[in-house]
Amino acid sequence: ARREVCPKLGGRLVIVGDVHGCLAELRQLLDKVAFANGCDTLVLVGDLVNKGPSSAEVVRFARASGAFAVRGNHDDQLLEAWHRVGRYTDSLDKFKARDTLEQLGNDELRWVQELPLTLSFPWLPLIVVHGGLVPGVALERQAFRDMLWMRDVVPLGEGRWRAGERSAEGSSAWAEVWQGPENVGFR
């Protein structure tokens, strides 16, 4: 419900994408928009980890601040490494964020694991997702991988689309063809 997300009258949703372990920059951004803790609500659009120097600290900050967040592809990669599945079944040799994996406790990793793929704010109307949504496909029928990775869509005819992780001949950015009814916040 609206009051559970924005508890104070006049509170804002502050939506930030792709923090990528950059806690100092996230704090600077929140200062710049005069984020009012307890009044405003922070929504993180996935990829809390990897690339930057403070991935574990970003996870801790998100948890401690009560931020809402969705899972991104880099968060999912961290979970693959933690569970030793997918690309990391046999070895973590190619996993570039081993320090993050070692710095986070099981409770923190479970928190990342429990992040939803989407958040809905029906009174706006708004859906938040990291990757994208295939136009014309009901939210509950969207593919897991698309919600984490997708960037473009290719028309299949009759209003149907195929998701893609990269631009390809005949593709369009999925957001360019999205017609709602909801607005979508994404990375």
| Structure confidence by residue, pLDDT tens digits, 113-144 | 999 999 999 888 999 999 999 999 999 999 99
* Cβ-contact 45, 120 below 8 angstroms: no
* pLDDT confidence of residue 84: 95
Those residues whose C-beta lies under 8 Å from the C-beta of residue 177, and which sit 6 or more positions away, are 135, 153, 161
pLDDT in tens, 93-110: 999 899 999 999 999 999
Expressed in angstroms, the distance from the first to the final Cα of the chain is 24
Those residues whose C-beta lies under 8 Å from the C-beta of residue 164, and which sit 6 or more positions away, are 150, 151, 152, 153, 154, 171
User: In the chain, where do the E strands start and end?
Assistant: 13-17, 41-45, 68-70, 118-121, 126-129, 152-157, 160-164, 172-173, 183-185
- Say whether pLDDT at 10 is over 80: no
Element containing residue 106 per DSSP (H, E): helix 106-113
pLDDT in tens, 28-79: 999 999 999 888 999 999 999 999 999 999 999 999 999 999 999 999 999 9
- Say whether pLDDT at 8 is over 90: no
pTM beyond 0.85, yes or no:
yes
Task: Please state the three-class secondary structure of 59-104 as a single string.
Answer: HHHHHHHCCEEECCHHHHHHHHHHHCCHHHCCCCCCCCCHHHHHHC
- Say whether pLDDT at 3 is over 90: no
Residue 135 is classified by DSSP as T
* pLDDT confidence of residue 178: 95
* pLDDT confidence of residue 162: 93
Which residue, 40, 181, 182, 161, is CA-closest to 119? 182
